[in-house]
Homo-oligomer: A and B are copies of this chain.
Amino acid sequence: METITEYEVGNSVEGPQTGADRSLADIPGILFVDHVAIAVRQGELDGQVKAYETLGFREIHREEVLGLDQVREALLQIGDGPNLIQLLEPLNASSPVQKTIDKNGGRGGLAHIAFRVKNARHAFDAMRKTGFKLIDPAPRKGSRGTTVFFVHPKSKEESPFGVLIEIVEDPESK
């Protein structure tokens, strides 16, 4: 519980530039960009990893993620920084990543942006309360031991994001 004390209900903070007071319970607690996910076509993962290695990235993790995701994932880190590049290669046609590639005219490309939070459950509740449309019915297991959920790109009716957002809690960094 000590990791979420700053989210206690009832406190309020200075709103952003809207000037509105908002409860900390309404704020998901985003810390930084956990990773930017990039779809790559089947058979192209190793070549893409090499191209990022030319830029100075190194592969720190590889995993086949089954379930809803159906992808081969390579995580690339630069220096010892917190921001990762996540290359996603679909394992089969039912992978959502294959659908991203199909929608992109058969090319790979930027798939989603993931933000790190301390507590995925808190973030989930805060975003549901403030009207975001969440794809997952609850935070669920992600790769490398994380807890994650996805936010619908057409979230927020009055101003559709147009961007697939993932929220990530990483127990390793607590």
B56–A159 CB distance below 8 A: no
Q: Assuming A36-B113, A109-B163, A110-B110, is B16 touching A158 (CB within 8 A)? A: no
Contact with B along A141-164 (1 / 0, CB 8 A): 000000000000101101111110
B27–A56 CB distance below 8 A: yes
- Among A16, A44, A55, A163, which residue has the most Cβ atoms of chain B within 10 A? A55
A159–B48 CB distance below 8 A: yes
Taken together as a complex, chains A and B put the C-alpha atoms of A54 and B99 apart, in Å, by 29
Which residues in chain A, 97-133, are within 8 Å of chain B measured between CB atoms?
103, 105, 107-113, 115, 127, 130-132
Q: Is A31 an interface residue (CB 8 A)?
A: yes
Taken together as a complex, chains A and B put the C-alpha atoms of A21 and B17 apart, in Å, by 49
Name the contact of A53 in the complex, choosing from B18, B110, B115, B153 (C-beta under 8 A): B18
Size bracket of the A interface: 35 or more
Q: How far is the CB of A76 from chain B (nearest CB, A)?
A: 9
- Among A47, A103, A153, A161, which residue has the most Cβ atoms of chain B within 10 A? A161
* Contact partners of A132 in chain B: CB under 8 A: 54
Give me the interface of A with B, judged by CB distance under 8 Å: 15-18, 26-33, 36, 38-40, 44, 47-48, 50-51, 53-59, 78-79, 81-83, 103, 105, 107-113, 115, 127, 130-132, 153, 155-156, 158-163
The 30 sampled A-B contact pairs (Cβ below 8 Å) are A15-B53, A16-B56, A17-B58, A17-B59, A18-B50, A26-B54, A27-B55, A30-B57, A30-B79, A31-B81, A32-B78, A32-B79, A32-B83, A33-B36, A38-B163, A44-B159, A47-B159, A48-B159, A50-B159, A51-B156, A51-B158, A54-B130, A54-B156, A107-B162, A109-B110, A109-B153, A109-B163, A110-B110, A110-B111, A110-B163
